[in-house]
């Protein structure tokens, strides 16, 4: 895969900088990632792009000072700082709270509180297929302004007009001299792959899918170890 001389590094967290685990609260980064991010940030623009909130990313990466986009574009700021929720997220705060209270009570299904929003994980459900169908029925009629987003055995609700794709395209437009490099593993990262491709001008983006599955990314690596090896090439 290419290493542009002047990259704008967009990095997903779960499944990209951290291995996927059964309990999202235990999603520690790859051992080399904190020091690697610090070194990269001394040379290049680095932005972590995640469905997690910025406060949780800071918890996992204490002392790392890079920019971040959290909650699928609803938060933006630096790790270690308190971000303000976007106006779009504030506008759907009440329906989100009501939905959180109405999540089906299913054995092994866990609700992850993200502060302004939440995620429903069914990786540990006793009957995964039944849990998926129950959650699909529950999310089939979400209030106007919200959009149900399915990831790797997780369901999240986000403001309809926000996504990782809208966030990274805007940041890339603010940095026209840099070549976007986006690395991610989940369905929500496909929004970013597609949006960067659609908005690319003279600087063709480098989009990298981590793991298996269909993708709009131009390149693919097997896992987190390979992401770390690739990122070292920018040093």
Q: Which residues contact 50 (CB under 8 A, 6 or more apart)?
A: 12, 13, 14, 57, 68, 69, 70
Q: Catalytic one among 12, 186, 189, 191?
A: 12
Q: Which residue has the tokens 């609803």?
A: 74
Count the alpha carbons within 13 Å of 110 in the hemisphere toward its beta carbon.
Answer: 12
Distance CA 25, CA 50 (A): 14
DSSP letter at 14? B
Phi-psi map region of 80: left, alpha, beta (phi>0 left; psi -120 to 50 alpha): left
For residue 103, which of 116, 117, 89, 92 has the smallest C-alpha distance? 117
Q: Is position 191 annotated as part of the catalytic site? A: no
How many residues comprise the chain?
A: 235
Angle at which helix 187-199 crosses helix 164-174, to 10 degrees, equals 40
Q: Enumerate the H helices of the chain as residue ranges.
A: 33-43, 54-60, 87-91, 93-101, 128-138, 164-174, 187-199, 224-232
Catalytic residues: 12
């Amino acid at each position: 895969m290419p290493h542009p001389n002047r990259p704008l590094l967009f990095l997903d967290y779960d499944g990209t900088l951290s291995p996927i685990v059964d309990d999202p609260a235990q999603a520690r980064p790859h051992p080399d990632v904190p020091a690697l991010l610090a070194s990269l940030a001394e040379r290049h623009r680095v932005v972590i792009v995640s469905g997690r909130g910025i406060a949780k990313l800071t918890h996992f990466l204490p002392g790392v000072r890079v920019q971040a986009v959290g909650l699928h574009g609803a938060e933006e700021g630096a790790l270690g700082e308190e971000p303000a929720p976007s106006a779009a997220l504030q506008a759907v705060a009440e329906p989100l709270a009501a939905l959180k209270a109405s999540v089906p009570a299913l054995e092994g299904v866990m609700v992850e509180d993200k502060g302004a929003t939440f995620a429903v994980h069914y990786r540990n459900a006793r009957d995964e297929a039944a849990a998926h169908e129950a959650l699909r029925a529950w999310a089939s009629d979400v209030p106007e302004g919200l959009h149900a987003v399915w990831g790797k055995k997780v369901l999240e609700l986000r403001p309809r007009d926000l996504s990782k794709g809208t966030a990274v395209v805007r940041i890339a437009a603010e940095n026209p001299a840099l070549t976007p490099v986006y690395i991610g593993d989940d369905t929500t990262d496909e929004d970013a792959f597609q949006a960067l491709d659609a908005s690319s001008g003279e600087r063709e983006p480098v989009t990298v899918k981590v793991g298996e599955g269909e993708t709009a990314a131009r390149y693919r690596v097997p896992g987190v170890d390979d992401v770390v090896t690739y990122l070292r090439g920018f040093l």
